[in-house]
């Protein structure tokens, strides 16, 4: 479990990215972290794994304080940054160097994931394309079997078949003891994978809700004309009329559109807050 209490962080005290941010993330779930560019999504992930330190507040990850970066904590987390770095070594050499830091690393799983991603085992890492390097790091991270997996824009650099394979692999490794947090703006890549959504803007948590709750409280549909008797939380022209987000008056589940959800929350945060508090 991750517990964040009154997190305050900024690269300078005059400009804070987060101010008194509080939330709890539970094991057994895949969270999607959405926000505008520059909203601090990557910064939030780095605070969780101890690469950056809060100005104020507390973070607890599986009962440990990330800033201490104790071995018992580090062996159970893995962060995949948006821009991956690989040293000038062979794939096998990389595994020999880094896998001992992760006691639950499984070589057979690693080879299976590489095969799924069509990455050659005898590759030199620097000779691989960016997309292939990213698939290698994803395969290695999954094979480490850490309790916490943090992914920053994981589908950037992946082609369409690889994105589909990525979704299948993430779904296959999920269990009740694992917590996965994915920061992304590629919402359509992950709509059918994520259990819960976090939306952060201007240092504040605007939404923390499960996809099931969202599907019951908001209505995503296409209408020929904009309704006059209902409050429209978001609308944009679409084929055949307008794509809209409305409050779901009947609470019948419907398909969530993450891109439209984000726009609705960003444009009407107070209205969204009232809907989810009711």
Question: pLDDT tens-digit profile of 9-37?
Answer: 888 766 777 888 999 999 999 999 998 87
160 and 36 co-located in one domain: yes
What pLDDT was estimated at residue 223? Answer: 93
The reply to whether 197 and 233 lie within a common domain is no
Among 173, 202, 231, identify where a domain stops.
202
**Rounded to the nearest 5°, which phi and psi values hold at 12?**
-145, 150
In this prediction, residue 231 carries a pLDDT of 85
Residues 18 and 133 in one domain: yes
Whether 259 and 192 share a structural domain: no
3-state secondary structure of 198: strand
Q: Which of 172, 202, 232 marks a domain boundary?
A: 202
The pLDDT value recorded for residue 14 is: 67
What is d(CA 38, CA 101) in angstroms, rounded to the nearest whole number?
32
Residues 89 and 216 in one domain: no
Range of the domain at 182: 2-202
* Residues in the chain with pLDDT values less than 70: 13-14
Shared-domain flag, residues 172 and 232: no
Is the same domain home to 177 and 257?
no
Residues 161 and 227 both lie in one domain: no
From residue 1, alpha-carbon distances to 27, 64, 228 in Å are 5, 10, 44
Distance CA 178, CA 173 (A): 9
Sign of dihedral through CA atoms 130, 132, 133, 138?
positive
Are residue 233 and residue 260 in the same domain, yes or no?
Answer: yes
The last residue of a domain, from among 180, 202, 224: 202
28 and 134 in a common domain: yes
Number of domains in the chain: 2
> Domain of 87: which CATH number?
3.40.50.300
126 phi, psi to nearest 5 deg: -70, -20
177 and 88 belong to one structural domain: yes
Query: Do residue 173 and residue 66 come from a single domain?
Result: yes
The 10s digit of each residue's pLDDT in 110-125 is 999 999 999 999 999 9
What is the pTM assigned to this prediction? 0.93
Tokens of 54: 């809060």
């Amino acid at each position: 479990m991750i517990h964040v209490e009154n997190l305050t962080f900024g690269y300078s005290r005059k400009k804070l990215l987060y101010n008194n941010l509080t939330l709890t993330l539970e094991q057994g779930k895949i969270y999607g972290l959405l926000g505008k560019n520059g909203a601090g999504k990557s910064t939030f992930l780095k605070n969780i794994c101890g690469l950056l330190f809060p100005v104020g507040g507390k973070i607890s990850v599986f009962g440990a304080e990330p800033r201490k970066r104790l071995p018992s904590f580090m062996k159970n987390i893995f962060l995949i940054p948006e821009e991956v770095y690989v040293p000038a070594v062979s794939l096998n050499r990389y595994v020999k160097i880094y896998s001992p830091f992760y006691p639950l690393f499984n070589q057979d799983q690693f080879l299976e994931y590489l095969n799924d991603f069509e990455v050659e085992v005898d590759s030199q890492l620097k000779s691989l394309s960016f997309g292939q390097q990213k698939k290698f790091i994803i395969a290695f991270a999954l094979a480490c079997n850490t309790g916490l997996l943090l992914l920053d824009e994981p589908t950037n650099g992946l082609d369409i078949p690889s994105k589909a394979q990525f979704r299948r692999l993430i779904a296959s490794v999920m269990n009740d003891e694992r917590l996965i947090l994915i920061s992304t703006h590629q919402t359509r890549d992950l709509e059918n994978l994520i259990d819960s959504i976090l939306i952060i803007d201007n240092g504040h948590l605007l939404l923390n809700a499960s996809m099931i709750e969202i599907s019951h409280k908001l209505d995503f549909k296409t209408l020929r004309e904009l309704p006059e008797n209902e409050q429209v939380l978001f609308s944009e022209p679409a084929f055949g009329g307008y794509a809209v987000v409305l409050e779901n008056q009947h609470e019948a589940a419907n398909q969530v559109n993450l891109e439209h959800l984000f726009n609705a929350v960003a444009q009407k945060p107070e209205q969204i807050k009232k809907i989810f508090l009711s």
